[in-house]
Amino acid sequence: MMDKSFIFLLAAFVCSVGSAHIPTIPCPNYFRYVSDPYQNIEGLILVPYYQTPELLLAVNASMKGFFGQENSNMQLTMLTTATDLIQGLSTIVKYKLQFPVQDSIPQITSIIFNGQQFCTGPPVPMEAPNPYMPGSSSAVTNMYATHTSRFAPVQPQ
């Protein structure tokens, strides 16, 4: 007779394959995973704004699997408008981080905004190849994205 807990574990494993696994977040105050209207997982970055005319954001992440150059690009979009920042209507800057594929969601390893480190975390661990899947291999891909914006200086009145 088969052990019930074994069947449960097997079912849990089958369910986890095919649906995206959400990695742990090293800095929940500055980063979260959200789902877009098409159920795609993307990242949301929120960092404080200190009245600087230049904003430089650099994000590093690590994801399970091997992905070529064209598939390892994350895309950063600034969601807060420059007008809101200049007029003091927003004290945080919000960015959207889009991932290259959905079946492997990257884990954030670093967020640096205007030279200040807001997030630092370990990369995805390398796994031993699965002995029940001959030819399977383990790989981790590192990813990097930056976004720069400069505001025109405010004209003296």
Ligand X SMILES: *[C@@H]1O[C@H](CO)[C@@H](O)[C@H](O)[C@H]1NC(C)=O
Q: Can you give the binding site for ligand X, defined by CB under 6 A?
A: 60, 110, 142, 144
Closer by beta carbon to ligand X, 8 or else 66: 66
Cα 108 from Cα 154, distance rounded (Å) = 35
Closer by beta carbon to ligand X, 120 or else 137: 120
Closer by beta carbon to ligand X, 66 or else 144: 144
Residues 63/144, Cβ–Cβ less than 8 Å:
no
Residue 109 CB, nearest approach to ligand X (Å) = 6
Query: Among residues 10, 87, 5, 99, which one has the least CA distance to residue 49?
Result: 87
Residue 143 CB, nearest approach to ligand X (Å) = 8
Cα 51 from Cα 54, distance rounded (Å) = 9
Residue 61 CB, nearest approach to ligand X (Å) = 9
Closer by beta carbon to ligand X, 116 or else 142: 142
Cα 134 from Cα 82, distance rounded (Å) = 53
